[in-house]
Amino acid sequence: MRDTDRDRIFDCAVSLASIITEQCDALVELCDYIEERVPISRRIVSFESNADESFHNLGFYFLEHKLMSDPDAVALFEVVKALEQITDCFEELANSFVRYNVTVPDGRLSDFSTALYGACRMTQDIIIYFRDKAPSSLILRDVTALDKYKSKYCEYYDEAILELFSGDTDAVELIRSKAIYDAFKVLFESFETLSEKCYLFIISYY
């Protein structure tokens, strides 16, 4: 992988990491101002459209420069692909708030979004570390920590689901809440996938 190819791939990776952070900021805002769910969700979706364009342009670059035969480039492409999938999951979560007509604030969403905020910031740090060729020990530390956000969310999820099915919650509210909790879970799982791809890149490149 030439330096120019590496720079081009990391330009896309940094852009996607920045979009993820913007999506997260908007999601935190949505959870705080649920009555504004429609315009905020549209903003999150528009961020995802920008991510799609950036990722597709990188795909065309790979085809043009025949990088799919370069193992290091492919390993890094997989990291970028995982970043793009996170933006997709943000879009789906935002749409779920509108689709299920969530109108009542849920205190648990603050816990979920706080954990998500930490994962997004750590993702941005990891990509910068990769770009700047930081020591592998430093990257591994944060990649391992990123993976733990999903485990932490699963604890929140289990508590939330248990509470949801232990009371006399209205059936419609139960379906609505579980759909949102599940969409959060898929999003956290996408960060877990990113951590796995980052680990494989470290093995391949370092």
CATH of the domain at 33: 1.20.58.220
Looking at residue 107, its pLDDT comes to 81
Which bin fits 178, alpha (ψ -120 to 50), beta or left (φ > 0)? alpha
pLDDT tens, position by position, 7-54: 999 999 999 999 999 999 999 999 989 999 999 999 999 999 999 999
pLDDT tens, position by position, 146-193: 988 888 888 889 998 998 898 787 889 899 999 999 999 999 999 999
Is a pLDDT exceeding 90 seen at residue 67? yes
Is a pLDDT exceeding 80 seen at residue 136? yes
Q: Is 136 exposed, middle or buried (0-12, 13-18, 19+ CB in 10 A)?
A: middle
Query: Counting every residue, how long is the chain?
Result: 206
- Coarse DSSP helix, strand, coil percentages of the chain, rounded to the nearest 5 percent: 90, 0, 10
Distance CA(201)–CA(52), nearest Å, equals: 22
Question: Total domain count for the chain?
Answer: 1
Looking at residue 142, its pLDDT comes to 93
C-alpha angle 56-26-185 in degrees, rounded to nearest 5: 75
Tell me which residue range forms the domain holding 131: 3-205
Give the Å distances, CA to CA, from 109 to 34, 120, 175, 203: 11, 16, 16, 36
Looking at residue 150, its pLDDT comes to 86
Stretch 56-66: mean pLDDT, rounded? 95
Stretch 63-69: mean pLDDT, rounded? 93
Q: How far apart are the first and last CA of the chain?
A: 13
From the list 144, 139, 19, the residue with the least C-alpha distance to 76 is 139
Is a pLDDT exceeding 80 seen at residue 206? no
Distance CA(13)–CA(18), nearest Å, equals: 9
pLDDT tens, position by position, 84-130: 999 999 999 999 999 999 998 888 888 888 889 999 999 999 999 99
At 81, the pLDDT band (50, 70, 90 cuts) reads very high
Distance CA(175)–CA(191), nearest Å, equals: 25
At 203, the pLDDT band (50, 70, 90 cuts) reads confident
Distance CA(174)–CA(102), nearest Å, equals: 11
Looking at residue 113, its pLDDT comes to 86
